[in-house]
Structure 1
Amino acid sequence: MSRRSRQRGACCLLAMLLAAVVRLLWSMVHLNMHPLSPRCPSNPALHATDPRCAPQSAILPDLRPPGLLPRVQPPQLPSDEEDLRSLEAEVEKQWQALQGAQRTDVDEKTAPANTDSEPQAKGLRACHTQHVLSRPPGLQHEGVKCPPEASLCILPQPMEVHVLTGYFELLRTTAIMGIGKDVQPLVAELEHLLHCDLGVTCAANSSRPIRLHRAPHIPPEGYVLSVSPKYLGIQASTASGVFYAFQTLKQLLPVSVYAPASAGIGPWRVPAVRIRDEPRYKWRGLMFDSVRHFYSVRHIKHLLDLMALHKLNMFHWHLTDDQGWRIEINGHPELTAAGAMRGPSLNLRTTDGYKPIYNGTAYSSPQYYTQSQIQEVVQYAGELHIEIVPEIDVPAHAAALIIAARQGTPAVDLGIVELHEGCKPPGEGLRTAPNCMGGVHGIVVPTAEAIQYLKRVLQDVVRLFPGRYVHLGGDEAEQFRTAAYGTKLGQRAKSETKIWNDERLQGYLLDELSEFLSAQAKTGMAWDDSFVNLAGYEPKKGKTWLVWWRDWASEASFEKIMNLGHPVVLAPTSKAYLDVFQVEPHRDSEYQVQAGTVHLKNSWDIRKLAHSNIVGLQALLWTETIISWDIAEYQMFPRLVALADAAWVPTTTKADWGTFLVALKYHKKRLARRGVRYNDGSFTGEFWGH
C-alpha cells in the first residue's frame, strides 16, 4: 500500500471516530446526561431543585461540528402581536384542513363505522360533534368513549371546540409569556396554577411557550384556548377568563392530573384544539346548608375546589336557621355560645313508606366558624374566583337567633319560638337551638330593638364577606306569622311602625335590612316568598334580588315571577334541589334522604328556562338528612355537574343530552380521582328520566 493510500485510510478512520464521538455526545443530550455529571433523577418531584435537571442548553454546549451535522436554528419566540397572530393563523389553517377532511367523512353516509380502529380525531370529537359537524350516522352515546390520553369530554361543555391534530407537550422547559405589562398578573396566575396543579416548573425561556394575551373584546369570564404542537395560547380579558381556560386545559389532560400530587407529575400532552368559550350566566352557584348539620372548613374548601372544577362562581352559604347559628359575630358571643349548640333530636320519627327519618346530630359544644376561619375560607374562595354569599335567615327560621339573644348582655327579645307539631315538647325551656328538623320554629318580630340588633349583626357580616351580595332569607314566615305578630311583641312593632297589616310588616323588615345593605354597597337577596306572598307589599326594584325556588306554587309560577321585573336566580325545587332522591324506586338509593325525586335529566333540563330577567341559576343542598360528608357528595354528584353545564353553556350552543352523557361518563373518572363519592346509579340509562 502506498504512503498516499495509508494517509487516506487514516483520515477516513479519524473521520469515522469523530462522527462516533459526536453521535455519542448528541445522544447524551437527549438522555438528559452530561459527560461529567450523573443522570437527572427519575423522580419528577426532585427535578425543580436538582441542578442536574437544568435545561441542557444551560450546561452542555452545542458540540456538533459545522458541516458534519446540519445546524437547526431553534424557532423564535413571538415578540409582538403580529407574531402571535401568525401562530394563531397556523392553528386556524390546521383546523380548516381537518374540517374539510371531516366534512368529506360525514358526507359518506353509507360507509360503515369502524369502531375497532376509529381514527383518533374522530374519537376526540365524539363529545363535541354538535359544535363542529352533525352527529355521524349510527353514533350513539352508549359505549362511545373519549380517548383517555387526551379527552375532549369537557364539562361544562365549551361554546366552540375545533379538534386539530398533534399535541403540545407541557415540559419543565415550558415558558409562560405575556404581551405587555398589563398581562403580567394573568401570567403570574397561570404560572401558579401550572406549578401547583400540574407540577410544571416554568422556565424563563422556551422554544415552545404558553402565550397569554389580554383581549379586551372577550367577555369577562370568557377565553380562547389555541393549541398546536408548537404553541399554546390563551386569550382573555380578565384573570377569571385565564382561570377558566386553565380548568378547560386541565380537562384536556389525562385524568391522573386530578389525583393527589404525590401520584406523579407529567410531562403532560395537550391535544391540538381551538376552543372559544364564555358562560351563559354570570351567576353559577351552589347553596350549601352548614346549619342543619355542620361541616368543617376542610369540607368547605373541598367543596369550593369541586365548584371551581365545574366553573361555578357563587357560593351561597346558609349560615343560620332554626337549628343553629354558625358564624361568630363580634359583640354578640351569645349567638355562638347558645345558638351553635343543640341537644338530642326532638323529631317524631316516621317509619311509613320511605319518608325521611329526621335524626339530627346533637352538638354538646358550639359548632360554628370563627372569624379567622371565615376569612380563611373567603380568601381560599377568592383564589378560585368564587364569591361567597352569606345568608342570615330572617324573619322565619330564626329560633337559634331568638333563643341566643335572650341570653345576651343585655338580653333582647327578638321574636317568638314555637316548635311545630312534628317535634316532641322539649320539657324545660330551650336554652340552645332546637334539634327538630323541618318546618319553622322561630320568627323575628320587627321591633325597633330587633332591627337594630340585626343591623349590628349584618355590619359584622359585611365586614367579613367582601362580596357584593347578602342573602336575607324571607321564606316560609306565613307558617305562623299571624300568631307571632298577634302577640304583645307584635303589637309593639305595629305601634312603632304604624303598619297594621302582617304581610306589610314583614316586608318592612326586608326593606329596612336591604336599605342598610345598600348603604354598605351591598345588594340584598331573598327567597321568592317575600315577593309574592305578602299582600300589599313588593320589595323595591334594584334593592333586592329574587331567588326562585317554589316552582310548585301557583302564586310563584315562572311567568308570574318573571313579570315582577326583579333580577332572578333560578333555584326551582323540581330541578335544583339536591337533598331529595335522584333514583327511583327510592329503596334503590344508598341513603334515605328527603322525600321527592330530582332525576339527573331534570337538573339538565333547567337550561330550557329562559327570560331576560334571569341572571343565573344555582343548585341547593339542604342538610336536614345529610348527616355525613359521604351522603353530601352522593346527593350532589352527578346532578351538580348537569346544573353547572346548564349555567355555563350559552344558548347559542345547541345542547344535546346524549352528548352530555358521553362527556359525563368520562367525567366521572375525574370525580373518582378527586375522591368524590358520587351516585353511580345516576349514570345508568334506567335513571336518566327520559
Structure 2
Amino acid sequence: SLLPHPGKVSSLGGRLTLDRDTTVRALPGAEQAADLLRTLVGRPAGLPLTPSPDGRVVLALDDRLGGLGEEGYGLTVAPQALQLRAAHRTGLLRGIQTIRQLLPAEALSGGAAGTGSWELPCVEITDVPDRPWRGAMLDVARRFQPIGYLRRYVDLLALHKLNVLHLHLTDDQGWRMPVDTYPRLISVGSRRARSQKGPTGPDGAHFDAVPHEGHYTKAELRGLVRYAAERGITVVPEIEMPGHVRAALAAYPELGNHPGRQLDVWTRWGVCDTILGVHEGVFDFCRAVLEEVMDVFPSPYVHIGGEECPTTEWEDSPAARERAAALGLAGPAELHGWFMGRIGAFLVERGRIPLGWVENGAELPPEFTVMTWRDGTHARAAARRGHQVIAAHHRATYLDYAQSTDPSEPVAQPGAPVPLHTVHGYEPAPHDWPEEERARVLGSQVQLWTEYARTPEEIEYLSFPRLCALADRSWSGGRGDWPGFVERLRHHTARLDALGVPYRPLDARSLATAGSASPSAGTARLHP
C-alpha cells in the first residue's frame, strides 16, 4: 500500500520490531538523514532511535548505487535489521518516507506513541523516480498562509516524495516577500481592502468587507528553505512580471504605463490589464527585486511568471510604441518576449535558470525552462523548440477546479471538474513522442490557485487525494495502474487521517472514470 508505488518491491516474509531499545547507525554522510529519521519516525512513534555504532537500523551512502541517481535508494527490512542505502543524501531522504509508510498509520500521528513498539513488514525495495521534477505550486499571493502552515505543506509533499514547492509570492491581489530597496511593496502591496466572493456571475462580482493582508520576513523564508531542504525539497520562488503586478503598481505607480495614476491592490479575481511599463526604471526594479529573491532562495530556478499579459496599455502608450519601434519590433505586443528575454538574460548572468509560464509553448527565449498550462499540445511544441519543460496542463493539474460534479463540493474555479482519475491518467511526456522530446520533459506539478481556498483546511481538501495521484504517477511513470492506485489509496487515507488531513472522501463520484476529461481537451481558461 505504498504511495507512490516503488519501482521494485519484494516481500521477504516476517516482521521487524522497532522499540525504545532500537538504535541507529549512521555511516559517514548519513548523519543528517538519521536526524530526520528521528524527527519524522522516532518522535511521533515515541522511539528515541539513539545513535549507536552497533545500531540495527543502518543508514549508509553507497557509491555502488550511483546508477539509481540522486533520488534512488535501496531498502532492506529483515527480521533483525533495517538497512537504507543510497548514492546521495536525497535518496536516503526518499527512503525515510518509505519507512514512514511501512509503519502502521498510527505511528505517524504521535497519538499512540505510548505503545513503545511498532512492526514493519520485511521487504526489499529498489526505487527510482521516473522524472526529476515532481512539484506543487501554492498561491500565497491571493490568500496569505502563515509560515507554519507552509512547513506543514512541505511535510505533506515530502511524504509523497514530491521534490519542488513552487511558491507563488506576488500577484495583482498581494505581494508577500519583503524587498529592502522597495519597502512599499509590503507596507502597501501586502494588503487589499476586500476580496471578491465567489466567481463573477450574471449580476457582476460581489465582495466581502474584510481586509486581507500578510507577508513573510526574509528570516521566515530562509527558514522555510532550510526546512524544505532537510526533507529533500527545493523551494522555487515566483515573482510575476510583466503582468499580474497590480499590487506592485499600487505601491509604486511610476513603474506602470501611467505613472501619475494611483491604483489600489486589486480586489477582483481574473486578469487585470495593468502591467509594467518598459522604461529603464522598470528593469532596475525587476533586477533589484530578483537580487533579493536570489539572496533568500538558492534554488537553481527562479520563476518570473510571464503569462496573461494584456498588451493594451503598451499599445496605448506612446513610450511603449516608441520603444517597440526603436527595437525594430512589429508592434508593442512583441515587447513581451523582449521583456522576458532581458530578465531571463539577467538571471542567466547570475547563474540561475529562468522559468516562466507559456501561452503557446513558443514565445519564450530558449534559455527558459517553461511551464506549459493552457493546452495539452504546448508541452510538445516547447520540447520541439529545445526547451526543458514542466508539463502542467490545467485540465489535469489545477486543483482549484472541483473534484466532481457533486453539488456539495466547495466553491471552486469555474469550469468542468478535474477528477482524481484524470490527474492520475496525465502523461506529461506520452510514450508515442520521439525520445529526444520526451527527455526534455523534466516532469509535472499540481497547481492550487487560492481565490476560493481561504484556509489550510480548504487547501488540503482541494489538494487531497488528487495530489496523491500526481505524486504516484510522477514517481512511478508508466501508463498508470488505476485499479492498483485506488487500492493503495484506500490504505493511504489512514495515513492522511493520522496526520489530520481533510480530504475528499473516496466514493463513487470521486472515483468515477466515465466522463473524465481528457487532459488534451477541455475549454481554454485563464489563469486566476
TM-score by length of 2: 0.88
In the TM superposition, 1:121-520 aligns within 5 A as 153-179=1-27, 181-203=28-50, 205=52, 209-216=56-63, 217=66, 218-260=68-110, 264=114, 266-345=116-195, 350-351=200-201, 359=207, 362-363=210-211, 366-406=213-253, 412-415=254-257, 431-477=263-309, 480-494=310-324, 497=327, 499=329, 501-520=331-350
Asked if 1:545 corresponds to 2:369, the answer is yes
Q: Within 1, Cα distance between the matches of 2:84 and 2:297?
A: 31
Q: Within 2, Cα distance between the matches of 1:356 and 1:236?
A: 57
Question: How much has 1:231 moved relative to structure 2?
Answer: 1.8
Q: Within 2, Cα distance between the matches of 1:359 and 1:570?
A: 34
Question: How much has 1:398 moved relative to structure 2?
Answer: 1.1
Question: How much has 1:515 moved relative to structure 2?
Answer: 1.2
In the TM superposition, 1:24-43 aligns within 5 A as none
- Higher share in helix: 1
1:469-503: CA deviations, max 9, x gaps? Answer: 110111111xx304433313413533664545334
**Matched-pair contact (CA < 8 Å) for 1:195–1:201:** yes
Larger radius of gyration: 1
Question: How much has 1:224 moved relative to structure 2?
Answer: 0.8
Counterpart of 2:12 in 1: which secondary structure? strand
Q: Within 2, Cα distance between the matches of 1:356 and 1:177?
A: 64
Q: Within 2, Cα distance between the matches of 1:676 and 1:357?
A: 32
Residue 564 of structure 1: aligned partner: 385
Q: Within 2, Cα distance between the matches of 1:614 and 1:608?
A: 7
Q: Within 1, Cα distance between the matches of 2:54 and 2:193?
A: 65
Residue 668 of structure 1: aligned partner: 493
Task: Classify 1:503/1:430 alpha carbon distance in 2 versus 1 (closer, same or farther; 3 Å).
Answer: closer
The total of aligned residue pairs comes to: 504
Task: Classify 1:590/1:399 alpha carbon distance in 2 versus 1 (closer, same or farther; 3 Å).
Answer: closer
Residue 518 of structure 2: aligned partner: none
Task: Classify 1:205/1:463 alpha carbon distance in 2 versus 1 (closer, same or farther; 3 Å).
Answer: closer
- Structure 2 gaps of 5+ residues are 431-437, 515-528
AA in 1 matched with 2:370: L
Question: How much has 1:439 moved relative to structure 2?
Answer: 1.9
Counterpart of 1:580 in 2: which secondary structure? coil
Q: Greater shift after overlay, 480-489 or 300-309?
A: 480-489
**Matched-pair contact (CA < 8 Å) for 1:360–1:624:** no
Asked if 1:574 corresponds to 2:395, the answer is yes
1:155-207: CA deviations, max 9, x gaps? Answer: 0111111112111111222222245x344554455455443343322345587
Question: How much has 1:245 moved relative to structure 2?
Answer: 0.7
Counterpart of 2:192 in 1: which secondary structure? coil
Task: Classify 1:687/1:186 alpha carbon distance in 2 versus 1 (closer, same or farther; 3 Å).
Answer: closer
Residue 646 of structure 1: aligned partner: 473
TM-score by length of 1: 0.68
Match for residue 629 of structure 1 among 456, 472, 481: 456
Question: How much has 1:328 moved relative to structure 2?
Answer: 0.6
Match for residue 480 of structure 2 among 655, 660, 671: 655
Q: Within 2, Cα distance between the matches of 1:455 and 1:248?
A: 42
AA in 2 matched with 1:166: G
Q: Within 2, Cα distance between the matches of 1:189 and 1:630?
A: 26
**Matched-pair contact (CA < 8 Å) for 2:247–2:264:** yes
Greater RCO structure (CA 8 Å; 6+ sep): 2
Task: Classify 1:462/1:558 alpha carbon distance in 2 versus 1 (closer, same or farther; 3 Å).
Answer: closer
Match for residue 414 of structure 2 among 591, 594, 598: 594
Q: Within 2, Cα distance between the matches of 1:669 and 1:203?
A: 28
Aligned sequence identity (%): 28
Task: Classify 1:349/1:159 alpha carbon distance in 2 versus 1 (closer, same or farther; 3 Å).
Answer: closer
Question: How much has 1:351 moved relative to structure 2?
Answer: 4.9
Counterpart of 1:442 in 2: which secondary structure? coil
AA in 2 matched with 1:547: M
**Matched-pair contact (CA < 8 Å) for 1:578–1:619:** yes
AA in 1 matched with 2:242: P
**Matched-pair contact (CA < 8 Å) for 2:138–2:166:** yes
**Matched-pair contact (CA < 8 Å) for 2:131–2:474:** yes
Q: Within 1, Cα distance between the matches of 2:102 and 2:208?
A: 42
AA in 2 matched with 1:404: A
Residue 26 of structure 1: aligned partner: none
Question: How much has 1:347 moved relative to structure 2?
Answer: 7.4
Q: Within 2, Cα distance between the matches of 1:315 and 1:349?
A: 27
**Matched-pair contact (CA < 8 Å) for 2:403–2:510:** no
**Matched-pair contact (CA < 8 Å) for 1:547–1:571:** yes
Task: Classify 1:592/1:621 alpha carbon distance in 2 versus 1 (closer, same or farther; 3 Å).
Answer: closer
Question: How much has 1:331 moved relative to structure 2?
Answer: 1.4
AA in 1 matched with 2:446: A
Counterpart of 2:457 in 1: which secondary structure? helix
